A and B are shown apart, each in its own frame.
Chain A
Amino acid sequence: MACRTVCQLLQRRLASSAASVRLSPAEVRGQRSAVFSREQARQRALYPRTEKIEVTLQIPGLQGTLLVMNKGVSTPHSCARHLTEWYVTSSALALVDGNPWPLHQPLTQSCSLSLLTFKDTDPLLVNQAYWRSCAALLGQVLEDAFKEDFSVELIRVPEVLVTSGAFCCDVVLDPQLDAWNPSEESLRSLTRGAQQLIHRDLPWEPLEVVPPVALEVFSHSRCKQEEVEEKSAQSPKGTVMLYRCGDHVLLSGGPLVARTGLCSQYEVTAIHPLGEGEWGLHRRAQGLSLPFQLQAHHTVWRKLRSRAEKLVEVPTGSANEAVSDTLTPPSAPKQTPPHTAQQ
């Protein structure tokens, strides 16, 4: 175990020396996407011969239907394509043997599959996945929005309950932008960027990777590497889930929905400054969104939106984290990473 931490420290040192060569954001994204594609191709090459698996469907009306699919290649999305178009467009998440499973992740063994939509009797998992996906989309929009001279660091996506009214994404902007406060026009242009991504209907491609590969993907971002270490420590198998949307690679704590086209109403509502933290001035970007099957009337939407503009307090466990971040004075030496407090 000591040897593992030494190896990680060495990797960190080597990674930080590479980061001293400032690449433009577009190049960083291209590099991340290339590493992702390479790992994806490598994982696909693990199944050179087509082996068959049996997938039993647990969908109301199609209980017990048996589908014969390919191992390591077929995804729940391809199972849905064998049914009807309605299943393809409306399913947001899949349940494989009772575990939430992203729709585009390949199936590796014979299992039971059920497709979850937004209008099920128990859509809690789907709601949380949707909230996480919208926050990931917000992070992507923020990364794209600013000019190349300004750096944008996504710190993390706090797990917020749906009843709190808005999804949030914690971000640190370039120090030159410390005095900048977003006007209504800038929020509207961020919303337009998000709507463009939604219109392109990009799928969120999942990939389960071991921590060294994830650290290589995020070799230019210190806080992302820390997040990778946190997540790998928390997960039972020690792996980390990466998602790619377009050419952005992101890290996520749980499954995301199938594609960006599932959102219909999407608005970026506010960006609140949280105070000085570990990486600079922390800001919380908030937004509100609804899927296309649950569209709101404009009167209802306006009320929900006015609520989403208020600052969302993140609940207790990570609130301690956030509080400790904000209370750290900037001149103090860098303290131990906050994930030890959770353990």
Chain B
Amino acid sequence: MRLNIQMLISHGRVARKMGLGPESRINMLRNILTGLVRHERIETTRGRADEVRFYAEKLIDYAKKGDTDEKAMKMANFWLTEKDLIPKLFKVLAPRFETQPKAYTRMARIPNRENLDKAAMAVLEYKGNPFPPLQTAKRDNELTLINQLLKGYREERAQQAAAKRQDIL
């Protein structure tokens, strides 16, 4: 193709370049994904965590098809470099996300790495992991005025619903 200035400007290009080339990128993501399946919560750079998220969720979708499925087994075999994790994927992770249709992972940003590169870091985890939660939603005290009013409101609604059910019966 014509070599022009537009080739050097990357406006609007969403595909990330990682490592030495496309094959290297896939290998890096494979390693990170294997680490994620083994430990269920890992810490990497922001760009890599964002890239792996797509592949992590697609892998779960394939695992949901079951280990008898040819394609699912091929995918798991390719993406997981440590082969003892293939049973874990099909027997632990896939049943965990049976009821959920989509969001299996959670990404939280953390302060930059302490090294010279000061890389922007992130924590990537599969939901339902056994570790303590990363971010707790700050809830107001149950006894504040507005929460007490809402509690009374909810109780009244429950009473009305119970009364309605009684009438129907």
Query: Among the interface residues B144, B148, B151, B155, which one has the most CB atoms of the partner chain A within 10 A?
Result: B144
Contact B152 A164 (CB under 8 A): yes
Is B156 an interface residue when CB atoms closer than 8 A count as contact?
Answer: yes
Contact A127 B156 (CB under 8 A): no
Contact A123 B141 (CB under 8 A): yes
Contact B153 A304 (CB under 8 A): yes
Q: Contact check: which of B140, B144, B151 meets A163 at CB < 8 Å?
A: B151
Q: In the complex, what residues of A have CB within 8 A of residue B143's CB?
A: 121-124, 127
Docked pose: A163 CA to B151 CA in angstroms: 7
Is A44 an interface residue when CB atoms closer than 8 A count as contact?
Answer: no
Contact B145 A123 (CB under 8 A): yes
Contact B156 A307 (CB under 8 A): yes
Q: Contact check: which of B146, B152, B156 meets A296 at CB < 8 Å?
A: B146
Q: In the complex, what residues of A have CB within 8 A of residue B156's CB?
A: 165, 307
Is A291 an interface residue when CB atoms closer than 8 A count as contact?
Answer: yes
Is B75 an interface residue when CB atoms closer than 8 A count as contact?
Answer: no
Is A119 an interface residue when CB atoms closer than 8 A count as contact?
Answer: yes
Docked pose: A296 CA to B145 CA in angstroms: 11
For residue B139, give the distance in angstroms from its CB to the closest CB of chain A.
12
Q: In the complex, what residues of A have CB within 8 A of residue B151's CB?
A: 163
Is A187 an interface residue when CB atoms closer than 8 A count as contact?
Answer: no
Contact A294 B146 (CB under 8 A): yes
Docked pose: A304 CA to B148 CA in angstroms: 11
Contact B141 A119 (CB under 8 A): yes
Q: In the complex, what residues of A have CB within 8 A of residue B149's CB?
A: 162-163, 165, 288, 290, 304
Q: In the complex, what residues of A have CB within 8 A of residue B152's CB?
A: 162-165, 307
Q: Mark A293-312, 1 if CB is under 8 A from B, else 0.
A: 01010001001100100000
Residues of B within 8 Å of A, CB-based: how many?
Answer: 14
Query: Among the interface residues B140, B146, B150, B153, which one has the most CB atoms of the partner chain A within 10 A?
Result: B146
Q: In the complex, what residues of A have CB within 8 A of residue B150's CB?
A: 300, 304
Docked pose: A118 CA to B146 CA in angstroms: 10
Contact A127 B153 (CB under 8 A): no
Is A130 an interface residue when CB atoms closer than 8 A count as contact?
Answer: yes
Q: In the complex, what residues of B have CB within 8 A of residue A303's CB?
A: 153
Docked pose: A269 CA to B143 CA in angstroms: 24
Query: Among the interface residues B145, B148, B150, B156, which one has the most CB atoms of the partner chain A within 10 A?
Result: B145
Q: Mark B11-22, 1 if CB is under 8 A from A, else 0.
A: 000000000000
Which chain A residue shows the least CB distance to B143?
A: A123
Q: In the complex, what residues of A have CB within 8 A of residue B155's CB?
A: 163
Docked pose: A77 CA to B156 CA in angstroms: 38
Q: In the complex, what residues of A have CB within 8 A of residue B145's CB?
A: 118, 123, 126-127, 130, 162, 290-291, 294
Docked pose: A294 CA to B156 CA in angstroms: 22
Q: In the complex, what residues of B have CB within 8 A of residue A123's CB?
A: 141, 143-145
For residue B150, give the distance in angstroms from its CB to the closest CB of chain A.
7
For residue B167, give the distance in angstroms from its CB to the closest CB of chain A.
19
For residue B114, give the distance in angstroms from its CB to the closest CB of chain A.
31
For residue B95, give the distance in angstroms from its CB to the closest CB of chain A.
38
For residue A119, give the distance in angstroms from its CB to the closest CB of chain B.
6
Q: Mark B125-148, 1 if CB is under 8 A from A, else 0.
A: 000000000000000110111101
For residue B109, give the distance in angstroms from its CB to the closest CB of chain A.
27
For residue B91, give the distance in angstroms from its CB to the closest CB of chain A.
44
Contact B146 A119 (CB under 8 A): no
Docked pose: A162 CA to B148 CA in angstroms: 7
For residue A8, give the distance in angstroms from its CB to the closest CB of chain B.
39
Q: In the complex, what residues of B have CB within 8 A of residue A165's CB?
A: 149, 152-153, 156
Q: In the complex, what residues of A have CB within 8 A of residue B141's CB?
A: 119-121, 123
Q: In the complex, what residues of B have CB within 8 A of residue A118's CB?
A: 144-145
Q: In the complex, what residues of B have CB within 8 A of residue A300's CB?
A: 146, 150
For residue A291, give the distance in angstroms from its CB to the closest CB of chain B.
7
Docked pose: A250 CA to B150 CA in angstroms: 30
Interface residues of A in 273-294 (CB under 8 A from B): 288, 290-291, 294
**What would 18 A/B residue contacts be, using CB atoms closer than 8 Å?**
A121-B143, A123-B141, A127-B144, A127-B148, A130-B145, A162-B148, A162-B152, A163-B151, A163-B152, A165-B149, A165-B153, A290-B146, A290-B149, A294-B140, A294-B144, A300-B146, A300-B150, A304-B150
Besides A123-B143, A123-B144, A130-B145, 4 new A-B residue pairs in contact (Cβ under 8 A), listed by A number: A127-B148, A165-B153, A303-B153, A307-B152
